[in-house]
């Protein structure tokens, strides 16, 4: 279900923990699976669980708890805007509204061309650079004023 490269990465996660605590690797393993497949289906969650050798429901708990795991298809670029208090005070909602208007979608939605998904995020520990936005869970963008957004979106075209 996953490529050899992904499985090798999961093996590396597993190696970080004692042999009787394989379940500790589940967060990393789900992240690796999601990076390859873009989002986590129930079948994929079950596969990862059996690879890590934990009950599927234990992996499902993790996959449904953290909102960086996607369980529905997302666009090519998933843009997560932080709306927690420090960001909100520094224009987080302006950023979000600008994105909504520009992309024509709301939180949790994907553009018709499948390029962009907009998501609402929790504090990313980068409040000093508020308002912040995360692209595809991995790349952090600071000070996302409307101008900065225009620039970023152009880059992503």
Binding site for other proteins (CB under 8 A): 42, 46, 54-58, 60-61, 64-65
| Neighbouring C-alpha atoms within 13 Å toward the C-beta of 147 | 1
Q: Is 2 helix (H, G, I), strand (E, B) or coil?
A: coil
Residue 58 C-beta: closest distance to ligand FES, Å = 22
Minimum separation from the CB atom of position 81 to ligand FES (A):
9
Residue 82 C-beta: closest distance to ligand FES, Å: 3
Residues at the interface with ligand FES (CB under 6 A): 82, 84, 86-87, 123-124, 126-127, 130, 132
Tokens standing for residue 19: 């042999």
How far is Cα 13 from Cα 21, in angstroms, rounded to an integer?
12
Dig out the tokens for 121 from the structure.
């995020």
- Binds 126: which of ligand FES, other proteins, none (CB < 5-8 Å by kind): ligand FES
Report the distance separating Cα 79 and Cα 146, nearest Å: 14
Nearer to other proteins, 61 or 97 (CB): 61
């Amino acid at each position: 279900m996953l490529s050899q490269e992904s499985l090798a990465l999961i093996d590396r996660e597993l190696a970080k923990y004692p042999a009787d605590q394989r379940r500790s690797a589940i967060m990393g393993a789900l992240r690796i699976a999601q990076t390859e497949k873009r989002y986590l289906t129930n079948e994929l969650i079950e596969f990862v669980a059996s690879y890590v050798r934990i009950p599927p429901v234990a992996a499902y708990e993790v996959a449904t708890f953290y909102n960086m795991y996607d369980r529905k298809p997302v666009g090519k670029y998933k843009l997560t805007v932080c709306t927690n208090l420090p960001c909100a005070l520094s224009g987080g909602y302006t950023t979000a509204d600008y994105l909504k208007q520009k992309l024509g979608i709301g939180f949790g939605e994907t553009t018709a061309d499948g390029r962009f998904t907009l998501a609402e995020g929790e504090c990313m520990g980068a409040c000093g650079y508020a308002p912040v936005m995360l692209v595809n869970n991995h790349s952090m963008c600071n000070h996302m004023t409307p101008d900065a957004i225009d620039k970023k979106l152009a880059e992503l075209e």
